[in-house]
Structure 1
Amino acid sequence: MRLALLVVAVLGLVTACGDRLGENGRFGVVYMDAQGFYAGVKAGMRQESEASGRAPQLLQINAQGDASKESTFIDQVSAAKVDALILSPASATASVPAIKLAHESDIPVVCYNTCIAEESARQYVSAYVLGDPVRFGAMLGERAAEHFLSTGNTAPSIAVVNCEFVEVCIQRREGFEQALTAELPGARIVANQEGATIDEAVDVAEQILTAHPDVDAFYGEAGGATMGAVRAVQARDKVGQTVVFGSDMSTEAAQALASGEVLKGVVDISGIAVGRLAAQAAEQVRAGQLTSYTVVPAPIDLYADAGQGRAWLAAHPDGVP
């Protein structure tokens, strides 16, 4: 009991007003980092709880991409016997031991956005909320091909700013390349470097622009990579020469898309939608309605022009994606 109370005190909780603590169940929740997507996931889980009339106590942590920090938290909530563990694992491999521990402690596990390697997931995970990453990338590859065909450039050079420490980002790039080269066989990937946060991505994109000053476009595999590439293009006075195709909507991304200068397309999986689906899956697991590993499809959206950027801003005045 002391450990369970310590987890609540340190990591925070959300309960419905007037409910007794934990009377509607308790979920452990891990957010991989502090990007806006995870604020959307949190909001979506809250919305689903309110809509269902059940508001479980949430023990939450931002793991900051640290598998060790994630593991410590999972140890704690496993000992506290939460009803489910909902997480976007930091690593397909390093996160396996902690998730295995939760499973062996009879804690159902729901992944969202990322998960452990499929062979392990099938053993230890009950549900995985996932927008098909190959299709995610392909939608942006199709948008990039459309853009370059409209400008008459049939052999664009493209640099990738990646988040490929997680498998879904590799799959996003594969989908992007397949769709792009299907329309433009002459397209080339001239660089592919990691830069998952905005600060990292700015530095990486500027280094790429130094090495490849004539690059036609960047592909940002995640939100930080996308906006870092946009900022680098602006800082290096490449507006009008180098464009960006990116992932994950945010207020800054929508503003950049609405301006029409650099960002020419964004593919997004709504954090709010994922949060709602993850909360639904956790309730289904708790109720015994999901008894084996299940992939829960999440919707994927393409924002392809300035008007759609403005529409997103109008629909998300709080900036939560």
Structure 2
Amino acid sequence: MVATGRRSRAGLALMAVVLFGVVAACGGRVGENGRFGVVYMDAQGFYAGVRVGMQQEAEVLGRSPQLLQLNAQGDASKESTFIDQVSAAKVDALILSPASATASVPALKLAHESGIPIICYNTCVAEESAREYVSAYVLGDPTRFGELLGERAAEYFLAEGNTEPEIAVVNCEFVEVCIERRKGFEQALHAELPGARIVANQEGATIDEAVDVAERILTANPDLDAFYGEAGGATMGAVRAVQARNKVGQTVVFGSDMSTEAGQALAAEDILKGVVDISGITVGELAARAADDVRRGEITDYTVVPAPVELYATPEDGSDWLRAHPDGVP
């Protein structure tokens, strides 16, 4: 997901300005209720939910701030330029899912030194830096996230009479939370099925990447029993690869992050057998509330704000999610 191409600093600045989005209170002047700089790591549906949640919670709080927004597309340099701009603009808070645990640190240090409160969500920089520069971190426990799916995978294979399944991981382990998800998955899986084997672990965070990765894994492991997708793109890429390689009925998928496509696949019952999700809307609400708490002095030290983690394990769960989210916003 991290871009490899280089653009000039001026070009990046222009791009950031073009990508600013404005949400202001109706009938008021733009920015009169404050301004938040907001960074989304990529364009996956989770981040659309975060945006909706922030807007809803801001309205509940009675102050709809102007949102200066950027889809960083996983590019830490683009993220950095945007943070430079909003720091200079003296926004009331910076709310972001950093592109890198390490490369994002200098930009967050600048924002902190500019007096801008920082709220991480979904991902953050390394803990030592987070404790120094970040006010709050909205986080669904990544270990528990993985454990729920590992428990679901063990339940499925025990019901199938398969005590030694071969499982491949399609990962997003350029961010720490995905590493913790896998550790939780493996721990819970092996607690019930000590003979289960992880036969591959390769990065494929976006759907297109994940399809290619999963197809290569299937070629190398034609008897593969399952994929574990650590993120939404990895999950649906694995599902599509199973379909493309005619492995329906042999290879199943356990995945992450609900979406319309994931809900439909879970409801279909043929490939996707479980999804663990942290609602983007809920995360957005919690991030906006944390920003307001920091602004009012109720949060003064680095604070982890827990976000709920939910398992969707049955076709009925998939259908229920689709009915509850007709617009597809998770």
Letter in 1 for 2:169: V
2:195 maps to 1:186: yes
Superposed, 1:208-223 pairs within 5 Å as 208-223=217-232
The answer as to whether partners of 2:16 and 2:78 remain within 8 angstroms in 1 is: no
| CA-CA distance at 1:50 after TM superposition | 1.4
Q: Secondary structure at the match of 1:239?
A: coil
1:3-33 deviation per Cα after TM superposition (whole angstroms, max 9, x unaligned):
x9x9766512111111211111110000000
Deviates more, 1:287-296 or 1:11-20: 11-20
What is the match of residue 172 of structure 2? 163
Q: Which runs of 5+ in 1 are unaligned?
A: none
Instruction: Determine what percentage of the aligned residue pairs are the same residue.
Output: 81
**2:59 & 2:265 partners in 1: Cα distance?**
33
| CA-CA distance at 1:35 after TM superposition | 0.1
TM-score by length of 1: 0.97
What is the match of residue 213 of structure 2? 204
Deviates more, 1:174-183 or 1:45-54: 45-54
CA 1:118–1:312 in 2, change beyond 3 Å: closer, same or farther? same
What is the match of residue 291 of structure 2? 282
Letter in 2 for 1:133: P
1:126-157 deviation per Cα after TM superposition (whole angstroms, max 9, x unaligned):
00000000000000000000000000000100
Q: Secondary structure at the match of 1:295?
A: strand
**1:8 & 1:59 partners in 2: Cα distance?**
9
Give the counterpart of 2:236 among 214, 227, 252.
Answer: 227
Q: Secondary structure at the match of 2:289?
A: helix
The answer as to whether partners of 2:19 and 2:71 remain within 8 angstroms in 1 is: no
Give the counterpart of 1:270 among 272, 275, 279.
Answer: 279
**1:10 & 1:180 partners in 2: Cα distance?**
42
**1:96 & 1:89 partners in 2: Cα distance?**
9
The answer as to whether partners of 1:67 and 1:90 remain within 8 angstroms in 2 is: yes
Letter in 1 for 2:215: E
**1:66 & 1:15 partners in 2: Cα distance?**
27
CA 1:9–1:33 in 2, change beyond 3 Å: closer, same or farther? closer
**1:145 & 1:54 partners in 2: Cα distance?**
47
Letter in 2 for 1:287: R
What is the match of residue 94 of structure 2? 85
| CA-CA distance at 1:181 after TM superposition | 0.2
**2:313 & 2:268 partners in 1: Cα distance?**
12
Q: Secondary structure at the match of 2:298?
A: coil
What is the match of residue 302 of structure 2? 293
Give the counterpart of 1:14 among 18, 23, 28.
Answer: 23
Superposed, 1:1-321 pairs within 5 Å as 10-321=19-330
**2:21 & 2:319 partners in 1: Cα distance?**
35
Paired residues, number: 318
**1:15 & 1:276 partners in 2: Cα distance?**
17
Q: Which runs of 5+ in 2 are unaligned?
A: 1-12
**1:7 & 1:36 partners in 2: Cα distance?**
21
**1:237 & 1:69 partners in 2: Cα distance?**
40
**1:147 & 1:12 partners in 2: Cα distance?**
44
Letter in 1 for 2:318: G
RMSD over aligned Cα, in angstroms? 1.3
**1:212 & 1:184 partners in 2: Cα distance?**
20
